[in-house]
Amino acid sequence: MIKAVIFDFDGVVADTEPIHRKSFNITLKQLGINLPLRLYKERYVGLGSLSIMEDVFRMHNVKRNARFWVNKRMKVFRELVKKEGVEPVKGFMKFNKLLNKLGMKKIIASGGYRKNVLAVLKCLKLERDFQFISREDVEKRKPDPAAFLLAAKRLGVKPSECLVFEDSPYGIEAAKRAGMKCVALTTSLDRSYFRRNCVVVKDFRELDLKLLQTF
């Protein structure tokens, strides 16, 4: 029986992947680098900022401090969020209200950094509705299950009682390794990226109470 719901953040709660890519390209333009959409989707969705920056620097033989450029990129990201705003993933707000009505325990377990997550939550006016785990809270990032296991611990439930919503293979693998049930959303990648043993939906508009009761 499901007693708690754990959400990934980017591409699950908030439609932020386009603005993340935009912030990378604005930052990397100073180095003459651009990340095409196809490359970003196939290689970087669900991967952390530092890992992305390090990989880009390796590909282009850039001898710069990746952490320094990640910090520049995150500042650009937050400026874009403030200037352009962010939309929730389709159907999320309605689904969140359903969970509140049911009294379901819930938490966000993001691979993003605290300042970035909080900036988007405030933009969506959800900062008082969710507690969240960010990159700073765990030593290893997804596909390591640490973030999900910490989420279950904070909610006071067993991993087997949790349902995870993710949009990347890294996150799905982390949920499986944590011993949790999971649903993959094709908000960032198409169905071909996800294994058959995972429920796959387009977005939260395909979810209802009946589906929750099947887990």
Give the DSSP letter of residue 157: -
Catalytic residue among 10, 15, 167, 203: 10
- How far apart CA 116 and CA 125 sit, in angstroms, is 14
- How far apart CA 202 and CA 152 sit, in angstroms, is 25
Residue 129: active-site member: no
Catalytic residue among 8, 15, 167, 203: 8
Element (H, E) at 164: strand 162-166
Q: 114 with 49: CB under 8 angstroms?
A: no
Residue 106 — φ and ψ, nearest 5°? Answer: -155, 155
Bridge partners for 14 per DSSP? 10, 88
Residue 203: active-site member: no
Question: Which three-class secondary structure state does DSSP give residue 86?
Answer: coil
Calculated CA dihedral for residues 41, 44, 46, 51, nearest 10 degrees: -170
Which of the residues are catalytic?
8, 10
